[in-house]
Structures are given as C-alpha cells and as structure tokens.
C-alpha cells in the first residue's frame, strides 16, 4: 500500500512561517492573509447553486492548504479502481499534527493491548487525542459532503475561535475528502454535460464507479474494491481511530438530515457501549444543528445497524461508528419541495409530523446544495466538539472494549474457529485467511495434531481464537447468521432488515469451519501465530512441463483463464485421474509451460496451493480449453449486478463485451458471440428502458439517448442467436425475459414456441415465502457439465426469486433440473419466512431448443463478489459445449 507524505512543499512551509513572522512584526495576522479561500481557488463558493468542482481540483486545494497550514497534513492512502490516488487529510492543532506518528502508536495500544498497566493507560488517556475518521461521498451522486470539505478544512485551518482551537487540541479530524474519486469525476462531468439544457440534473448512464456503483457500501466484509481496501486499512491496521462517520445523502422529500441512533434490528455481536456512544454523538448533532436553526433532523429512522457491509462495519471492531444522511437536490441544482410532497415511510417514522425522533419537521420550499453544505459543516463541527468534550472517556472506552472482548474470548463460547487445511476448495481457504488478516485479525495454525472433543485437528489446520480485540467481527463473519426477530408490536409486523441477512464467510465460500465451544489449554499450547501472507504454495516454480489443477478450486479456473490470456495451452480432463496421491475429477485443468517462461513463472507463483506436476508422458483423455466469445448485458440504469459480474470476469481473466439492451436490434449476435449473459435485472427495464408499476410505464431521470431497451426486434435477434447454437445464461429477475411465448424468424418462416419452464416465485411469495437475502441449501445433480467441481450440496445466495417449475418438453426442446432446494431445512444462514414453500423446487435449470441452450439460475451465483461457493456454476455455464 502506498504511504507517501505529500510534503514536497516543506520549503514552502518554511517560507510561509517566515512570512508569518514578518506579518506579525507588522502587526498583521498571517491567518487572514495567506490561507487560500475556497472561493478564490475554485472561482465559486463551494455549495453555491449549480457549481461543482471535480476530484483533482479538490485534492489540489487541500494540498495547497496543507502547504499553507501547520494544522493540516495529507497522506496518500491507496488507489481507486481506476488508478486515482486517494488521500486522507489530518486536521488538528499544529502540535498534534507534528506528533501524529507518536499518537498513532498510542491509538494502536489502546485498540489492541488488553494488558496495559493502569499507570500507562492513565497516561495514554490523559494525553491521547480522539481520532475522528470521516469518509465523504462514497456515493458520488451524494455530492455535498465532498463539496463541503474545503470549507471545513479552511475553517479549521484558519480559525481563531478559542472553542474551536480547544477542539483541535483534543481531536484529530481525519478527513477522507472523497471515498470514490472515480465516481466523483463521472458525476461532475455528467452534471456539466447537461447543465443549461432541458436535461439538467440527468442521471449518469451507468454506475458511478469502475464496477459497483452504490454497492461500494456493501463491500466492507468482502473488501473486493481497492478504494474500500484503502479505507478499511485505516481502522483495521493503521490508525485505529476511535470514532468514524460515513457521510451520505438520502431522498429529497423526507427528513432533511439523519443522525444516530439507528433503528432496529441491531447486531447481537456489537456491544451496547458502541450504540450508546453513537447515540451520544447523534444527540449532540441533533441538539447543535437544531439550535443553529437547521430543521428536519431525524433519528432512529430507516437505517439499521444489523448488517455488516457498509463502512460502518468498523463498529464490529470497537470503533464508535455511524452515518449521517442529508436530503438531496438534483445533483447541484436546487429543487422546490411542495409541503404536500413531504413524506416519511419506513422504519421509525410513519407520518411526516412532529415526533420524538423528528422534533422540528422541515416545512418544505426551496432546498439547495448550499443548504446541505450548511448541514454538513454544522454536523461535522458538532462531531468534533463531542469528541473533544468526551476525549478521555472515549479513549478509556476504546481500551475497555479491547480488554472486555479479549476476556470474553476466554470465558464465553465459542472459543475458536478451526478450518482444516484440507478443503473442497483449498484456494478459498487461503483467500479467506488472507481476508481476515486484512481485517486486522490474528491467525494461528496448529503446530501438531490435536484431538479435542473426539475430533482430530491436524497440524497445519487454521485456528482463529476469539480472544482478540476484534472478537465481535470474528464471530459475526465466521458464525452462521440467525436473524434477530423483533416486531413493532407484540405479535405484529416483523422489523425487516435494511439490507441482506447472511454473510458468513465459511458458508458463502463453502469452506469447512468448526466452531469450538469448549476451551482447551492443550490446543492453545500448540498454536503458532501466522505472520505475513498465508499461502499453501511454498514449492517455488515447478520444473515440470505441465501441471494439473483441480476443478474443485475457483483458483484453478482463474489460473486456466489467465493461462489462456497469456497464450499458454490448457486442456481439461475428460475423466477422473489419480496423480501424485491425489484424485483429479473430470474437468480438472492441465496447464502447459510451452515457451512462455515468464508468464508460466508468474502463473505458478500466483497459485495459492501447490500445483501437481505432470511428470510422465501419460496421455489422458482431454479436451482443449477455449474461451467462448461472451456478451454481458448491462443496462444504463445503475446496473450493479452487471457491474459485479464485470468485476468477477476481469479478476478471473475472462474476456467479454458489454452489450446494452439498446444494441440488440442492430447486432448480428450469432456472428459475434457464443454466450450471452443476463445478470439480475428487471424484465421491463431490459425490454423498454422504463419501469412498469401497476399497469403504467415510468421513465427515470435519464437523457432519452439512454432510455432504450431490447424491444421486439432485439428479442427476435436474441432468439435467432439461440437458434444458431448460442448459449443464453440468465439469473435473477432477467429470467422473466425467456418466460412465455417466443418467436424465431428464419427468412420468411416464423416459429413460435415457449420454453418448458415457469417462474413460480410470485405465487410462493403470496403464500408467505420471504427471504431478504439469505443463504439457502441447493442439491446438485452429479456428472453434468454444469456441476463440474461442485459439491453435491451447498449454499446459494437467494432473495426468494426466481423459483422454477419445469414441464415435460415437446418437439425439439429439452430440460434438466441441475439444482433443487431440499424438502426440509432450506435455510442455511440468515432469515426466511415459510422456507418450506421452496422445498423440492428447481433452483437451476438447463434447457435446449434446437441447437440453442439456456441456463437459468434462481440465485445470484456471484452476489457482490461474496458467494465464492457458487462461482463455478457461472464458469461452467460459459464453458458449456455447443450442440452441433
Ligand atoms: Zn449514500
């Protein structure tokens, strides 16, 4: 990770200090004269109507201020997915800024050391400072937090207000001025493009991120995106701030501002004190902002603290973390809200009226970017003030959390999670262990075999003891999720989760893990701390001319696709083979070194496990691996599931072409592609570019250039593609495209048909089936090209739709049910109401019509890059052999 000081301007700073002395001699104050005002720099007042600066301008301004002020210090923290440098600005008293490295060590001790002696602890809490991390505008359409940051930085750098100076002596404000630099520029550019036209304020066509758009805030367990890795590292491994706030915007017609506490459900594993402290910050914000005349502050509304996945996931790591949300405008253009348009809806507030959690409802009228900026500045000052007021208490609290969690890990089950080295997919064990290290978790291995409670654990098995400061996080992501059912009234409506309900790393990755509920000193005596990157490949580069990689592992697919992309020869076994004491199932890969020594070496080193060398010249029955030409369908409407699919394909070295629904009618699909993939997307959006509610269509806020769908002609092209031997893979709502009557045109001839399936999920939902996003069990058929490398039974991520029923086919059609839900115990992790309604129903089907093939999947095989257990179903789908 990059860690560079941006103090190339130190000489400038010296000159500046000299200037300060001179000015002082002349009786002038440097503060007024030499700090660059934001409005002078940007050419407009940040927050003024219809004005936005971009990411480079923002950073340039803060760097300029860093050069001018001893109260600011900027550091590079990593890179965005499109390669932009990311920064954090430390803002505090000049004394604190010159002491950052020392205070960083204090933070670390307070966060991680459970055995500080009372005198040292006292010294640390009385001299330490509260570090408040603020991450701004990760959701790039929510522009105000980043746009307000120069004003906050300037104010804190130049203030002579004794109150604020006291805050700065007690607090180090760590501002990440923009969490999503790529998106910030996309949105600023898009705004500029339509400014002064009839389409001013039009939404961006596509996601405001390289891949994941709004889902950037669903990634803080998985840490797949480089911007999130940079942010998480701040609280997992580097700076251990005691307080964190992520700054957002919400809808336009509800409350003006949201501050903590959040609503139920809340995480069982997070200690009460974290929520209490979040409430303290929220209460201060509500009080301070309201007294400054800012109406419409709400609490205890919509947003819950149940699911870890947002930046706020740091609350599982003893950070007092929370979010704020401001009502939005049209990017930077003002809006007028009619009083009759004001509404609330959702957890906590049912009427837009004075309530204990919205004491001064906003009355409607004009709402401008400048209003949001004012709320942002006010809430930020309140957070810094609160941190200053409770400085010692907060620092004491942080170490108390550490001591309590370490102690709980010794006195309360579970005590350890043990993951055998021998796994169905060893690569996923390696990836899981390294992910936990990225989360700041200590990993151990067993130095020798241990029998504990009649179970043999072998030397080399991975052990994660719960007796660690970040115990809440370990437990949360290693256990099976059981949803905390709460109701609004006794026996009344269930309080539903804000997001999903399952995230268990071992279950989502199909990695075997044992939860140990009885402590063992014998086992503890055999633990060895693992340092550095975890890998099961320590053999260096194989001398053999070829190696075999098991089809069971996602990493074998990654290596095989990478090898193809590097020009190496790859084959797949047509039958099971025994080699080097291991069994390689049908579909396993043989990679040949050939003449590409460098590519070969890089590939061998990148493997997380040892490849098995192919030393003899035995001829195995095998086929050549070739990648099909893939089209991935992505709409212009913030299509996050398609974005995640692009991310998976890029990281597994699978080439593809993005196809927009509007492109279908003018493309000869059969000539250009072998496989067309439809990720989860609404059928009406795919067909027309519009949304259908009730019987009517509605248009989103997109420029008409982008409001296009597949249409009737496009659908004919798709069916013609299938008729000529194309393969269509579809999951989630998009399977609806293929339901019911279809038409193939061959010259003047037309054939109508309907595929032998139906999506029955609407019926099941009416009958009470409700799954907010949980892991459910699927049983697969054996010995089918789509199930190569898969276990017989495993968990898939489901939202309860679609669920298939198939029928006995007619004419040249056929079908096979590839996977189905078991009769009982469908739910593996999360929440499901009436789960048995899915029992014995089809979860994944294969169909054919003539030479065309269809793979329909009732779950998201690559959900937010967090369901590694089902990736191979996607890989197998694209590698399906064509029908001659
Ligand atoms: Zn947001």
Q: Is the dihedral of CA 434, 439, 445, 450 positive or negative?
A: negative
What are the counts of helices (DSSP H) followed by strands (DSSP E) for the chain? 26, 42
| Cα-to-centroid distance, 476 and ligand 1 (Å) | 24
| Cα-to-centroid distance, 565 and ligand 1 (Å) | 37
| Cα-to-centroid distance, 144 and ligand 1 (Å) | 11
- C-beta atoms surrounding 79 within 10 Å: 17
Taking every pair of Cα atoms in the chain, the longest distance, rounded to a whole number of angstroms, is 97
> How far from chain centre, in Å, is Cα 32?
43
Reported confidence tier of residue 28, pLDDT bands at 50, 70, 90: very low
Q: Is the per-residue pLDDT at 469 higher than 50?
A: yes
Checking phi first, is residue 307 left (phi over 0); if not, alpha (psi -120 to 50) or beta?
A: beta
| Cα-to-centroid distance, 310 and ligand 1 (Å) | 10
User: What is the DSSP annotation of 633-674?
Assistant: E--TTT-HHHHHHHHHHHHTT---EEE-GGGGGG--HHHH-S
Lowest mean pLDDT among 17-26, 289-298, 578-587, 588-597: 17-26
| Cα-to-centroid distance, 139 and ligand 1 (Å) | 5
Angle between helices 162-170 and 144-158 (to 10 degrees): 100
| Cα-to-centroid distance, 326 and ligand 1 (Å) | 9
| Cα-to-centroid distance, 474 and ligand 1 (Å) | 26
Q: Do the beta carbons of residue 643 and residue 215 sit within 8 Å?
A: yes
Parallel, antiparallel or unpaired: strands 546-549 and 455-457:
unpaired
| Cα-to-centroid distance, 141 and ligand 1 (Å) | 8
| Cα-to-centroid distance, 773 and ligand 1 (Å) | 20
| Cα-to-centroid distance, 849 and ligand 1 (Å) | 44
| Cα-to-centroid distance, 609 and ligand 1 (Å) | 39
> How far from chain centre, in Å, is Cα 474?
18
Q: Residue 637 has what pLDDT?
A: 97
Q: Is the per-residue pLDDT at 23 higher than 60?
A: no
| Cα-to-centroid distance, 217 and ligand 1 (Å) | 8
pTM above 0.75, yes or no: yes
| Cα-to-centroid distance, 770 and ligand 1 (Å) | 26
Q: Nearest Cα to 612, choosing from 701, 674, 546?
A: 546
| Cα-to-centroid distance, 215 and ligand 1 (Å) | 9
| Cα-to-centroid distance, 161 and ligand 1 (Å) | 32
Q: Nearest Cα to 830, choosing from 772, 870, 768?
A: 772
| Cα-to-centroid distance, 681 and ligand 1 (Å) | 21
Task: Summarize pLDDT for 232-266 with one digit per residue, the tens.
Answer: 999 999 999 999 999 999 999 999 999 999 999 99
Q: Is the per-residue pLDDT at 757 higher than 60?
A: yes
| Cα-to-centroid distance, 180 and ligand 1 (Å) | 11
User: What is the DSSP annotation of 722-742?
Assistant: HHTT-EEEEEGGGGGGGSSEE
Q: Residue 11 has what pLDDT?
A: 42
| Cα-to-centroid distance, 138 and ligand 1 (Å) | 7
Q: Residue 18 has what pLDDT?
A: 47
| Cα-to-centroid distance, 214 and ligand 1 (Å) | 7
Q: Is the per-residue pLDDT at 357 higher than 90?
A: yes
| Cα-to-centroid distance, 846 and ligand 1 (Å) | 38
| Cα-to-centroid distance, 227 and ligand 1 (Å) | 15
Q: Report cis status (omega within 30 of 0) of the bond before 215.
A: no
Q: Is the per-residue pLDDT at 29 higher than 70?
A: no
| Cα-to-centroid distance, 657 and ligand 1 (Å) | 30
Gap between the Cα atoms of 881 and 866, Å rounded: 27
Q: Residue 687 has what pLDDT?
A: 98
Q: E strand or H helix at 632, and its extent?
A: strand 630-633
Name 162's Cβ contacts closer than 8 Å, sequence gap at least 6.
Answer: none
- C-beta atoms surrounding 64 within 10 Å: 17
Reported confidence tier of residue 33, pLDDT bands at 50, 70, 90: low
| Cα-to-centroid distance, 249 and ligand 1 (Å) | 5
| Cα-to-centroid distance, 861 and ligand 1 (Å) | 26
Gap between the Cα atoms of 574 and 109, Å rounded: 56
| Cα-to-centroid distance, 137 and ligand 1 (Å) | 7
H helices of 843-883, where? 871-878
In percent, how much of the chain has pLDDT > 90? 93
């Amino acid at each position: 990770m990059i860690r560079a000081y941006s103090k190339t301007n130190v000489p400038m700073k010296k000159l500046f200090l000299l200037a300060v002395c001179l000015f002082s001699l002349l009786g002038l104050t440097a503060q007024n004269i030499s700090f660059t005002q934001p409005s002078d720099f940007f050419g407009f007042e940040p927050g003024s109507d219809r004005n936005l600066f971009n990411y480079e301008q923002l950073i340039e301004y803060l760097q300029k201020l860093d050069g001018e002020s001893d109260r600011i210090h900027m550091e590079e923290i990593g890179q965005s997915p499109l390669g932009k440098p990311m920064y954090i600005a430390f803002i505090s008293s000049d004394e604190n800024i010159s002491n950052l490295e020392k205070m960083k060590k204090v933070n670390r001790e307070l966060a991680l050391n459970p055995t500080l002696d009372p005198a040292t602890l006292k010294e640390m809490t009385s001299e330490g400072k509260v570090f408040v991390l603020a991450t701004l505008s990760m959701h790039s359409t929510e522009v105000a937090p980043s746009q307000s940051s120069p004003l906050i930085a300037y104010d804190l750098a130049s203030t002579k207000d004794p109150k604020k100076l006291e805050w700065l002596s007690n607090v180090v404000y760590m501002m990440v001025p923009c969490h999503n630099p790529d998106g910030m520029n996309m949105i600023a550019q898009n705004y500029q493009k339509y400014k002064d036209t009839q389409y001013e304020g039009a939404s961006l066509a596509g996601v405001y991120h390289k891949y994941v758009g709004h889902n950037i805030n669903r990634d803080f367990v998985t840490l797949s995106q480089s911007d999130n890795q940079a942010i998480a590292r701040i609280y997992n491994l580097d700076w251990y701030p005691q307080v964190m706030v992520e700054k957002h915007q919400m809808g336009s017609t509800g409350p003006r501002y949201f501050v903590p506490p959040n609503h139920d459900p809340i995480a069982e594993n997070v200690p009460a004190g974290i929520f209490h402290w979040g409430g303290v910050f929220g209460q201060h914000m509500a009080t301070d902002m309201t007294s400054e005349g800012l109406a419409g502050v709400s609490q205890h509304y919509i947003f819950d603290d149940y699911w870890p996945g947002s930046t706020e996931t740091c609350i599982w790591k003893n950070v007092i973390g929370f979010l704020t949300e401001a009502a939005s405008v049209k990017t930077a253009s003002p809006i007028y809200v009619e009083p009759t348009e004001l509404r609330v809806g959702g957890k906590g507030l049912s009427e837009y009226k004075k309530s204990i959690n919205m004491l001064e409802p906003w009355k409607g009228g004009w709402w401008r970017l400048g209003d949001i900026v004012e709320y942002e500045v006010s809430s930020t000052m309140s957070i810094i003030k609160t941190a200053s007021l409770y400085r010692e208490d907060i620092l004491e609290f942080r170490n108390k959390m550490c001591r309590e969690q370490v102690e709980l890990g010794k006195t309360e089950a579970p005590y350890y999670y043990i993951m055998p080295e021998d796994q169905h997919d060893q690569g996923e064990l390696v990836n899981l262990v390294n992910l936990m290290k990225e989360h700041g978790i200590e990993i151990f291995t067993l130095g020798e075999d241990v029998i504990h409670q009649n179970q043999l654990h072998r030397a080399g098995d991975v052990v994660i003891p719960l007796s660690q400061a970040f115990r809440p996080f370990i437990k949360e992501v290693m256990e099976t999720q059981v949803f905390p059912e709460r109701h609004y009234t006794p026996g009344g409506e269930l309080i539903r989760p804000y997001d999903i309900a399952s995230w268990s790393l071992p279950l989502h990755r199909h990695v075997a893990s044992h939860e140990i509920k009885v402590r063992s000193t014998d086992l503890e005596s055999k633990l060895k701390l693992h340092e550095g990157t975890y890998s099961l490949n320590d053999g260096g580069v194989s001398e053999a001319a070829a190696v075999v990689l098991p089809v069971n592992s996602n990493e074998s697919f990654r290596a095989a696709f990478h090898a193809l992309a590097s020009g190496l020869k790859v084959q797949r076994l047509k039958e099971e083979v025994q080699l080097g004491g291991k069994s390689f199932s049908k579909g396993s890969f043989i990679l040949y070194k050939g003449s590409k020594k460098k590519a070969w070496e890089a590939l061998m080193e990148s493997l997380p496990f040892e490849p098995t060398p192919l030393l003899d010249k035995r001829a195995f029955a095998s086929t050549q691996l070739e990648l099909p030409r893939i089209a991935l369908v992505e709409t212009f409407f913030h299509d996050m599931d398609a974005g995640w699919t692009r991310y998976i394909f890029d990281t597994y070295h699978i080439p593809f072409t993005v196809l927009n629904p509007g492109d279908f009618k003018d493309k000869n699909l059969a000539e250009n592609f072998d496989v067309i993939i439809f990720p989860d997307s609404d059928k009406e959006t795919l067909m027309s570019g519009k949304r259908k509610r009730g019987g009517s269509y509605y248009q989103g806020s997109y420029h008409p250039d982008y409001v296009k769908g597949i249409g009737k002609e496009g659908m004919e092209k798709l069916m013609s593609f299938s008729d000529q031997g194309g393969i269509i893979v579809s999951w989630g709502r998009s399977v609806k495209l293929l339901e019911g009557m279809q038409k193939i045109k061959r010259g003047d001839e037309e054939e109508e048909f309907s595929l032998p399936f139906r999506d029955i999920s609407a019926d099941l939902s009416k009958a009470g089936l409700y799954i907010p996003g949980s892991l459910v069990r699927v049983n697969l058929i054996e010995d089918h090209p789509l199930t190569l490398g898969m276990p017989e039974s495993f968990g898939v991520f489901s939202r309860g739709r679609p669920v298939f029923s198939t029928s006995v086919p007619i004419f040249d059609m056929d079908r096979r049910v590839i996977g189905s839900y078991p009769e009982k115990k469908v739910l593996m992790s999360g929440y499901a109401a009436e789960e048995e309604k899915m029992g014995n129903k089809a979860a994944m089907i294969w169909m054919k019509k003539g030479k065309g093939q269809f793979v329909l999947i009732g779950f998201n095989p690559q959900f937010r890059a967090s369901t590694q257990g089902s990736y191979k179903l996607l890989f197998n789908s694209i590698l399906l052999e064509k029908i001659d």
